[in-house]
Structure 1
Amino acid sequence: MNILDKIVARKREEVIEAKQNKSVSELEKEDLFARKTVSLAAALRNASSPKIISEFKRKSPSKGIINDQVSPEVVTFDYANAGAVALSVLTDIDFFGGSFSDFLKARHANPVIPMLRKDFIIDEYQLYEAKAIGADVILLIAACLTPAEVVSLSQKAHELGLEVLLEVHNAEELAATIGENIDIVGVNNRNLKTFETSIETSIALSEQIPDSFVKISESGLKNAETIHRLHGYGYKGFLIGETFMKTVNPGTALADLQIDLTQQSNLNPLVL
């Protein structure tokens, strides 16, 4: 059993436990459930320069503890001030050290910026959870869902007013799961089964993603040169967590990258 299989198996247990603790009707009564969501897809589609989706992540299965000395409300507020187009906050507890508490602290500190609930969504119940904690976008990972599950979960997400980020790792996943209820396609440069990372994954898939979908690249994004290059392949957004989180001040790390991106754009107009 690889790490992705272990995570999904544990997630199924978590969902069963969560349903026993709080019903869907109770989630619908949460204050943030009625909040009007903010479109990340629109913000990215209208952007003329690379936009960063900054992530708050305490740890990961591949890296262990990344940063357990910072608070989500401070880091995400700094991200927003440094120009992040959106925030991503992990809510997986066992493997990534995240929580609903982290997400809610970030949400209250940043009431209007789009926020992605970063987790392994396998059940409709989790969509209601996402809405109840103030998420705008949910993640569907093609590697751990069937095409039919992607269809049903994305449709339900739209019914709840949530945007859908579909994460793929290869052409087969893309072809099998792309559909009308997907708003953003994210190409993860990290293989979730082996944790090997290569931006060539984003490059290879760039022309296979229809122009009607907003494209973002995820993982392995460490410098302005890489981001600028991928922007030339049509990627509008770049989800970055570890690169920022492993620093003492993640918000400052984003601000520094923004400066580098501006310089890179001035020095090297987009050329493939």
Structure 2
Amino acid sequence: MDILSEIIETKRKEVATSKELYPVKLLENSTFYEAKSVSFKKYLRREDKSGIIAEIKRKSPSKGVINGHVSVERTSIGYMQAGASGLSILTDQTYFGGSAEDLKVARSYNYCPILRKDFVIDEYQVVEAKSLGADAILLIAAVLNKAEIEKLGSLAQSLGMEVLLEVHNKLELEQSITDKVDLIGVNNRNLKTFETDVKTSFDLAESIPSQFLKVSESGIADPEVIKKLKKHGFEGFLIGETFMKSGRPEKAAKEFIKQLL
């Protein structure tokens, strides 16, 4: 079993447990549930922002612990002050060291679009994302078929959230495109081998239909790469490890973004 299959198997068990502990009716009573979502598409296109979706990620299966003691409050505020266009918050605990609480903390201190970064496989998680204060969810083509993407994407959109569809190759892109997603992200990291190559974004750029905002994800460590990606139509750039490996991720983000603006 590869790591992605293992993660999904674990996630199914976690979702089943969450459904018992926190029924949908309880989630719908959250103070965040009725709040109007903030648009990633609008923020990524704001001229006073960098286009960067800055991520909070404590660890990963490929790198182990990256920054185990990060302050979500300080880092999320610092990211936005540095000029990030939005936040990505890992909520998977087992493999990435995140939590639902991380997202709630980020939401409490920031008025900006927040992506719930997790392995969404069930409608329950979409409702849960809204209850935590997320403005967008991630759907991963490597673990979902088109019917599942449409079902989950449709629910998210009906709740006012946007949907970032993540693909890694042309086949995934062709098999999963639907109007039930709003942004298409090219993951430069192969989720089965965890090898990373930004060339993946350049290779897929022309194949992404123009109605979708293009996001390049993972492996971006040089501002010059972002300048090149922009020439290929990318408007969003999800960066986690490049910032998180610093003791003060928000300072690393500030120095990085300063070279872009």
TM-score (norm. length: structure 1): 0.94
Once residues 127 and 196 of structure 2 are traced to their aligned partners in structure 1, the CA distance between those partners, rounded to angstroms, is 32
Q: Give the structure 2 partner of residue 109 of structure 1.
A: 109
Structure 2 SS opposite 1:32 = coil
Report the CA distance shift for 1:46/1:175 in structure 2 as closer, same or farther (over 3 A).
farther
Query: Contact (CA 8 Å) 2:48, 2:83: kept in 1 or not?
Result: no
Report the AA paired with residue 183 of structure 2.
I
Report the CA distance shift for 1:258/1:197 in structure 2 as closer, same or farther (over 3 A).
same
Once residues 258 and 74 of structure 1 are traced to their aligned partners in structure 2, the CA distance between those partners, rounded to angstroms, is 17
Q: Give the structure 2 partner of residue 268 of structure 1.
A: none
Q: Give the structure 1 partner of residue 90 of structure 2.
A: 90
Gaps of 5+ in 1: 263-272
Once residues 48 and 103 of structure 1 are traced to their aligned partners in structure 2, the CA distance between those partners, rounded to angstroms, is 24
Q: Give the structure 2 partner of residue 270 of structure 1.
A: none
How much has 1:42 moved relative to structure 2? 2.1
- % identical aligned pairs: 51
Query: Contact (CA 8 Å) 2:50, 2:83: kept in 1 or not?
Result: no
Q: Give the structure 2 partner of residue 222 of structure 1.
A: 221
Report the CA distance shift for 1:260/1:135 in structure 2 as closer, same or farther (over 3 A).
same
Once residues 113 and 241 of structure 2 are traced to their aligned partners in structure 1, the CA distance between those partners, rounded to angstroms, is 20
Once residues 211 and 47 of structure 1 are traced to their aligned partners in structure 2, the CA distance between those partners, rounded to angstroms, is 20
Report the CA distance shift for 1:126/1:49 in structure 2 as closer, same or farther (over 3 A).
closer
Report the AA paired with residue 106 of structure 2.
A
Q: Give the structure 2 partner of residue 74 of structure 1.
A: 74
Q: Give the structure 1 partner of residue 146 of structure 2.
A: 147
Q: Give the structure 2 partner of residue 269 of structure 1.
A: none
Once residues 91 and 258 of structure 2 are traced to their aligned partners in structure 1, the CA distance between those partners, rounded to angstroms, is 30
Structure 1 SS opposite 2:105 = helix
Query: Contact (CA 8 Å) 1:127, 1:138: kept in 2 or not?
Result: yes
How much has 1:49 moved relative to structure 2? 7.5
Structure 2 SS opposite 1:221 = coil
Query: Contact (CA 8 Å) 2:73, 2:106: kept in 1 or not?
Result: yes
Superposed counterparts of 1:69-218, under 5 Å: 69-110=69-110, 112-218=111-217
Once residues 201 and 129 of structure 1 are traced to their aligned partners in structure 2, the CA distance between those partners, rounded to angstroms, is 31
Query: Contact (CA 8 Å) 1:50, 1:228: kept in 2 or not?
Result: no
Once residues 130 and 114 of structure 2 are traced to their aligned partners in structure 1, the CA distance between those partners, rounded to angstroms, is 11
Report the AA paired with residue 14 of structure 1.
E
Deviation string 1:13-49 (CA, Å, 9 cap, x unpaired) is 0110001111111110111111110000122245598
Report the AA paired with residue 30 of structure 1.
S
Q: Provide runs of 4+ in structure 1 moved above 3 Å.
A: 45-50
Q: RMSD across aligned C-alpha pairs, in angstroms?
A: 1.2
